[in-house]
Structure 1
């Protein structure tokens, strides 16, 4: 039955028990109460219902109805399956749940300020470490490929030492002597012969000269001009052997080519974790735990930099060792620190680039493969000025410059100026695209109502008129929330409230707007219009503060497969800011609470679907948030485990928390929710308690009468219709007749006539049942506008 605000529950209970002495209260949730009436008092039902109907205002009863025990409930009560026994062994009792949660609320005081950020960074960094060291593919890719390809380049150079060699070019004048032409014939010794001419003319016209042979180069200069020594050295250095130049250029290309292949494959692997977190919903869960995106990205970045250090050092070491046998690698040995510094600075610049490229993919394997090819292409592409913006180009240019001419200054400046500029640009892009997403939130000027339901309008007007005041008595207040995707509006002016110690169910068919509403509340999507408050904090104005006030259990398990159940809880506890000194005890409590003690030390990849849901619920309860948002929490659980999980959720509500729930299971909704709202086409179609909705939207109670042995169905039907003309015939078979009573029929009248028919022998028995939530849901969503 549905109680009003003025209900005196003790008086109501006394009234019920005065007529049915063995009646008892099954549960009280919000403004609704369930009484169990024993079958042996069936003769007294009409009297009880008549009192409730006539004294409804005095007793504070808004509405009431009756329903029979379902076969599913009988099955769960009477059978003890193996799954039930295992669930009972693995999940604590409701009393133990209350004890655990109360002890947690007394001890947990979340970190704030710089200590909170350090705690969040620590949790994210440990997560990255576990993900890497337990992924054999990542380890092999990060270490094996860079080292393998650098060793391969050294082997190629060593086995092909004559690469690029050409016959020495005769640079004397002999080939030209004796030629016919207008010009004078050149001959050797021309400069030596001309010195016998006038000295002043010689000093003015002939400034530098060179003597070259196979092994030596001698520069001669005229010191009458001050700049001749430098000019002579410049031309001498420019006149290197063509054979040597070609060989070094090709060898430099080989080293650069193979190093790029190995290193770019390694860098591409750093895209897998960000891509995997987005694919599995872990990124959203981390944000819902109150961790700013920049903290989790910074932890990823620092771990990846450390992860790249060892391959970087091994590459330099291989090239330095190779220089002992290959003279062509001596430039790397001479500038080993500069080489390592260039590779390190490249890592600083290229890892953010890989992060940005990962947003183009949804599958981690595809991201790794395609980004690896793209990195290689950008690194080996022709050196054009515009490509200096890319760190891949900088890396290739560093290797080539150091090898080719030892120009360490140019390489160093190139990396600092261009690589650092690119790093700055990428960080700015990440900040704008991810961390600084612009919110479009307008002040409410009024409510545009799309539904005629009086309850929806009353709640919306109440919230809009005094939203700030309502936050004092309600954990969650949603005021005229709207969401648009381009020209499509997914959510229209949704308003509702959730009190402490209660559960609010948001129901609706697929595409009704439930997911969009959840995404706005969790911060995954921006709010187009309206406001939402969690424990007095407005989500749009204090996003990170409000995120720490609620826990989130998504529909699909957002778990990193490499982490164990315990490590997963440690991660989210640190992100929420649970102090280290109470963290072990809190995690132990959560593990015991949801019943995964046996599997806590195993990777979540080995969990069954049911255990993954239990772990997801434990994550939502980490840090004991004041509001818990659950999207189909018992999906995938067997009936016994589902019931036990419901007891956990009910225990959470008893400690003062609020639960916002969405589910396709009407049984789950009936068991947990104090208040319901059905959403259709982005709008709330109805809102209220379960009994209130059954009374308001039900199409009359269902009556099924059992025929007497040998009785005639037509005679029984005629007799029942004459006594109860307000009934509508639904179905007739050999032993049962089904009717539906008109809306508004008093239960006292109905039970009086049915009892009289039974005593007169017209029928052998009967059942009376009000419309179920499932029937109301189908009726309301069936009139959905197409």
Structure 2
């Protein structure tokens, strides 16, 4: 029934129960009132309906209709074995506790993402640490002096020593004996050559690798001539030759036990600018390896942010009341924790690969400070870059390439700028200061300069090096944290400052983007459009051909603005234009108020403007003109306040696939501010209400489409929202799940919330909606309760008659003639095995009259059963959608203004 404001519901209920004692009131919301009438009382329907029609004005009834129980309802009642009582959500948490609770929820969400994607995280860590280890393993970073080397043939293992002695026999015998003693002790082979030693060396191929030294002695009356040959491929063979000569002479003079040990110790290196440049070349290898590894690692921080934004899970979190600061600071904190672990492991790699300068004497604290400040700067920078991409994989790859190329090129640019002598100081300062905005540049230069300064200080204070007094005095006087070009102070400050700046830009973008979009769309683009398309706009938004109910709603809003603002939801002259070529007018000047405990349905074909309207109502899109008010707050001017008042189930599930239903509902319970001790029972109740208990611990990506829709609905109805938006919530559900969803939605509405729903299921809209509007090409073409629309646009009754099995064809023919006589204009639509389906004009045929005629004809024409119902909402919808329908042309003309 559609009732007036003065309707006496108790009197109507009393009247109905006088005729049908077991009748039950099903719903009494807004202008809609419905009762369930048992079928066994059909013989009294005629009298009841006649009485209602007679007293319609007295009872405050605008109109009424009848519909039959559907198979869905039968299935639902047969499957339900218990009722589920909803529990109130114990909300009332203070602001600071709510802030802390939300922060905890967001931090746990990030931790769960990392835990569930541990393979990906491990791969990122291995890419950084493994790459650094492999590239640095072959590089020597040790500054220790080379030890003294003993000049001994043993270092070449077994060698052959050719020799030739001619002249004094006594001397020859003595020298040969001493040579044999010395060389055999060293396990070397002594080979006496008869004749020219040089010729022997040239002719004997074996000597190329086995002969390190050779000598000859020629004794004459005037002199003793020693000649030594050495193999130039052995670096120390010249000094080794002299050592052997000195030993055999010394043994000849002092006895066979006498020896001389000769050692070769490198001269101390001189610490000069050349040594500084040599160290710089070495550290550049560390820097470029580190930049490459960090580019791979830090790009992974974009994966979660892009996934949340693209799936609209981020939007749902903001709609549910998550503070912008909580969302981003929790993400930053968790990513910094992961970055800290990576940096600690990186220091371990430095230790293994002997990069001592970055670790010794508490230098590891400085190194860790540099690495952590880089993380503080780089992670918000990655977040900012992620706004440009719409796929997580694409974002990771592109940000890695962009970051690495930018970091590498910045180091090259810095080197080139410092080399070019003709560049002006102001230009140089501008370029170098601009490069300070890049996190990888600051990291690379900080490590580079820190290593060089500490290495030079170590060498200048080492006793094993000869120091250049002026150079070392300058090096020892430098503080690594000073603001000079050769120190890291400006880079450290730059990393700290840019991290805060990038974070501020993220907050600024999140908090002002809505107002900026509103200004651009509503003031700039719409202003230009009105100038050039004023006539077209006026024609498109004209209200001349509006339906009477739609027009009355608009006029009531415009004439009583303050009263309209007291409504829970007020949509006022809403217009949405997509400024493309050509411009698309998606929503055309719609206005409606929705009161507390109402369920308002938006119906229309795909492309009618339903989803766009939803996107405007939930803050996804900016309205071009007009406004939306939720509990008096303008969505254009106070989006943050509006979002805290609504729950939203989007058309496509905005869920985090790596979580379970229990985890995601627990997260949103914390977001809404439920006390911790109430969260578990509250979540359990929601899971049970929507038949999600069996899937509560499964990953969301494993759930069916229907289960995901129920979970999305559960997220939407949680908390203290005043308005719940459901965009096709029952898609993909079986009848039982759908009915459980409906039951939950009805109880949510009865708890005081407004439900705004879109659906392609007319039955769903009839079951849930207290009022609805049908949209065609962005406009409301009708508005009212389902019963009101069926009364207004449905001009036929649907009659189904079933004959008893023993009924003859002649009786059926007589019945057809009877119907044609008593109901002129009736149409037989279908006849099948004793079942007839008729469309009977409702004009001049009241409900009481129709039921009275059929009840009298029941015995005369051997009827087993019959039913009379009103046209369905689906058939009304098809009328407006210009699809074939059972109504007459007259009804079509009436339905389409």
TM-score (norm 2): 0.70
Post-superposition Cα deviations, 1:754-781, rounded to whole Å, max 9, x if no partner, equal: 4454444387754322111111112112
In the TM superposition, residue 595 of structure 1 has moved relative to its aligned partner by 4.3
Tell me what 2:529 maps to. Answer: none
1:679 to 738, 763, 775: 775
Aligned match of 2:83: 93
CA-to-aligned-CA distance 1:358-392 (integer Å, 9 cap, x gap): 12222222222222222222222232546543222
Cα pair distance change 1:261/1:694, threshold 3 Å: same
Residue 39 of structure 1 deviates from its aligned partner by 3.8
Q: 1:597 to 1:37 in 2, by over 3 A?
A: closer
Contact kept, 8 Å, 2:689 with 2:740, in 1: the verdict is: no
Whole-Å Cα distance in 1 between the matches of residues 795 and 281 of structure 2? 87
**Structure label with greater radius of gyration:** 2
- Judge conservation of contact 1:716–1:763 (CA < 8 Å) in 2: no
Residues 555-704 of structure 1 mapped to structure 2, 5 A cutoff = 555-580=651-676, 582-704=678-800
Distance in 1, matches of 2:120 and 2:38, equals: 65
Q: 1:387 to 1:14 in 2, by over 3 A?
A: same
Q: Which residue of structure 2 aligns with residue 776 of structure 1?
A: 876
2:92 to 109, 118, 121: 109
Equivalent position to 2:572, from 479, 483, 488: 479
- Aligned-partner Cα distance in 2 for 1:115–1:21: 54
Contact 1:111 1:579 in 2 (8 A): no
Q: CA deviation at 1:63?
A: 0.8
8 A contact 2:324–2:507 mirrored in 1: no
Q: Which runs of 5+ in 1 are unaligned?
A: 162-212, 218-235
Q: 3-state SS of the aligned residue for 1:156?
A: coil
* Number of equivalences: 687
- Within a 5 Å distance, the mapping from 1:213-612 to structure 2 comes to 237-238=272-273, 240=274, 245=277, 248-323=279-354, 330=357, 333=360, 335-381=363-409, 382-384=412-414, 385=431, 387-404=435-452, 408=480, 409=482, 410=485, 412-416=488-492, 418-420=494-496, 422-423=498-499, 426-437=502-513, 438=515, 439-440=518-519, 449=543, 452-472=546-566, 474-486=567-579, 487-580=583-676, 582-612=678-708
- Structure 1 Cα separation of the partners of residues 590 and 642 of structure 2: 19
Shift of 1:518: 1.9
Q: Is residue 129 from structure 1 mapped to residue 107 from structure 2 by the alignment?
A: no
Deviation (angstroms), 1:20: 3.9
How far did residue 355 of structure 1 move? Answer: 1.0
Check the 8 A contact 2:603/2:773 in 1, yes or no: yes
| Residue in structure 2 matching 1:745, options 818, 839, 844 | 844
- By how many angstroms is 1:249 displaced? 4.7
Q: Find 2:127's aligned residue among 141, 145, 161.
A: 145
| CA shift digits 1:644-702 (9 cap, x unpaired) | 22222222222222222222222222222211111222211211111101111224222
In the other structure, the counterpart of 2:861 is 761
1:454 offset after TM fit, Å?
1.0
SS of 2:592's partner is strand
Change in CA separation of 1:766 and 1:561 when aligned onto 2, cut-off 3 Å: closer
Distance (whole Å) between structure 1 residues aligned to residue 495 and residue 40 of structure 2 = 85
Inter-CA distance 526–17: structure 2 relative to 1 (3 Å threshold): same
Q: For residues 75 and 295 of structure 2, what CA distance do their matches in structure 1 show?
A: 60
Structure 2 match to 1:10: 10
Alignment partners' CA distance in 2, 1:782 and 1:415: 69
CA contact 2:450–2:488 (8 Å) conserved in 1 = no
* Secondary structure of the corresponding residue to residue 726 of structure 2: strand
Deviations 1:191-222 (A, max 9, x none): xxxxxxxxxxxxxxxxxxxxxx97566xxxxx
SS in 2 for 1:617: helix
Over the residues paired in the alignment, what is the CA RMSD in angstroms?
Answer: 3.3
Corresponding residue number in structure 2 for 1:49: 49
What is the CA distance between 1:148 and its match in structure 2? 1.3
Residue 547 of structure 1 deviates from its aligned partner by 2.1
CA–CA distance in structure 2, aligned partners of residues 134 and 73 of structure 1 = 41
Cα displacement (A) at 1:274:
0.6
Aligned to 1:164: none
Q: 1:310 to 1:21 in 2, by over 3 A?
A: closer
User: Aligned to 1:568, what secondary structure does the other structure show?
Assistant: helix
- Name the SS for the 1:711 alignment partner: helix
- Matched residue, 1:32: 32
The answer to whether the Cα contact below 8 Å between 1:320 and 1:330 also exists between their aligned partners in 2 is no
Which 4+ runs in 1 deviate beyond 6 A? none
Displacement of 1:589: 4.0
Give the stretch that moved more between structures: 23-32 or 516-525: 23-32
Q: 1:450 Cα shift? A: 6.7
| Separation of aligned partners in 2, 1:333 and 1:323 | 10
For 1:212-270, what per-residue CA distance to the aligned partner results, in whole angstroms no more than 9, with x for missing partners?
x97566xxxxxxxxxxxxxxxxxx944x16xx84x645533332232222211110110
Aligned mates of 1:464, 1:156 — CA distance in 2: 80
Q: Give the superposition deviation at 1:291.
A: 1.7
Shift of 1:734: 6.0
Equivalents in 1 of 2:348, 2:837: separation in Å? 87
C-alpha distance after superposition, 1:17-40 (max 9, x if no partner): 333445443333332222333444
3-state DSSP of counterpart to 2:138: helix
Ranges in structure 2 where 5+ consecutive residues have no aligned partner: 144-265, 415-430, 455-477, 527-537, 884-894
What is the alpha-carbon distance in structure 2 between the residues aligned to residue 762 and residue 321 of structure 1? 99
In the TM superposition, what whole-angstrom CA distance separates every residue of 1:67-124 from its partner, at most 9, and x where no partner exists?
A: 23334434444xx5xxx46xx5xxx614x22xx23xx3xx421332x44333322221
TM-score (norm: length of structure 1): 0.79
Q: Is the 8 A contact 1:591 1:597 kept in 2?
A: yes
Question: Conserved in 1, the CA contact under 8 Å of 2:311 and 2:654?
Answer: yes
Measured after TM superposition, the shift of residue 712 of structure 1 is: 7.2
Give 1:424 deviation, angstroms: 5.2
Instruction: State the alpha-carbon separation in 1 of the partners of residues 498 and 872 from structure 2.
Output: 62
| Distance in 1 separating the partners of 2:37 and 2:682 | 41
1:16 CA drift (Å): 2.6
Cα offset for 1:455?
A: 0.9
Contact 1:478 1:494 in 2 (8 A): yes
Q: SS state of the match for residue 744, structure 1?
A: coil
Instruction: Write the distance in 1 (CA, Å) between the matches of 2:113 and 2:58.
Output: 64
Contact (CA 8 Å) 2:445, 2:491: kept in 1 or not?
no
Match of 1:205 in 2: none
Q: Secondary structure at the match of 1:383?
A: helix
**CA distance, structure 1, for counterparts of residue 763 and residue 642 of structure 2:** 31
Is 1:481–1:531's contact at 8 Å kept on the other side of the alignment? yes
Cα distance, 1:762–1:727 mapped onto 2, change above 3 Å: farther
Mapped to 1, the partners of 2:882 and 2:717 lie a distance apart of 36
| CA drift at 1:154 | 2.1
Judging changes above 3 Å, is the alpha-carbon distance between structure 1 residues 273 and 331 closer, same or farther for their aligned structure 2 residues? closer
Say whether the 8 Å CA contact 1:152–1:258 is kept in structure 2. Answer: no
Shift of 1:141: 3.4
**Residue number in structure 1 paired with 2:185:** none
